[in-house]
Amino acid sequence: LLPTRGQYLGVFPTFSGSIYDVPDGPKMRNASCTTIAPTGTLSIIAGCSSGIEPLFALSYTRNILDGAQLVEVNPYFEEAAKSEGFYFDELMKQLAGGARLHDVDEVPDSIKRLFVTAHEITPEWHVGMQAAFQKSTDNAVSKTVNFPQEATREDINKVYMMAYEEGLKGITIYRDRSRDAQVLTTGREEKAEGVGLIPRKRSRVTTGVTERVTTGCGYIYVTVNRDEQGIFEVFSHLGKAGGCASAQLEATCRLIS
């Protein structure tokens, strides 16, 4: 037999005393050989499912760049709906608007049992699903536990403790609507009331001071301009344009201003 990579190149540095260090066991070159990685973007490009995640929704709205929205229907559900004779555009719109498939009388029970979405699965079963795959996976398993908007801290704590007890190496939770904008949504967005941040109006001429500071990358010149309310804007210059440090410095100044 040909030598394994571990026999040929040597085992990983912490092999001694590890779970692989057993009599007559294989000499492992890598401590981790299998993983279930986060593949959200890749799955969109490839047109396939994202790892072991259940369907987020059968029909949903995807928020993309520039505030544009795309309504997408799961191709397998669409195929099943057409095959069983209950496909119609209005149903897809209802599902994208937040309707539950289980509440639609025209849909056969066999289809309802098959197409269960992420928010119809309890958090405990999300963890149980991940635990089943973790048993045969060396590295962590990418999996999101979806919580409804009304989830409490106690609910989330319960899931974290369950994940620990099941031996998971990592876990991700997400409470619906916990961010102002999220990539995948179903139903209508609730508009937040109130007024957001409004930039102060800039005069044509402002006054300020420029200070030179010595850094490991050379001199940095920081200009701080003020108005009647205090610091108004910050500019900086460090070395040649285009460098990483210059770009990061510019970003910091934009955040301050």
pLDDT digits 0-9 by tens, 40-59: 888 878 888 888 988 888 98
Same domain, 171 and 53: yes
84 lies in the same domain as 178: yes
Is there a single domain that holds both residue 112 and residue 9?
Answer: no
Query: pTM value?
Result: 0.63
- The total domain count for the chain is 3
Taking residue 145's Cβ as centre, other Cβ atoms within 10 Å add up to: 25
DSSP state, residue 200: P
Structural domain harbouring 1: 1-31
pLDDT in tens, 88-133: 888 888 888 888 898 988 899 999 999 999 989 999 999 999 999 9
Among residues 152, 185, 218, which one ends one of the domains? Answer: 185
198 within a domain of the structure (yes/no): no
- Which residues, 6+ apart, have CB-to-CB distance to 60 below 8 Å? 71, 72, 96, 184, 185, 186
Residues 170 and 61 occupy one common structural domain: yes
Domain assignment of residue 193, yes or no? no
Q: What type of residue is 143?
A: K
Q: Both 60 and 174 in a single domain?
A: yes
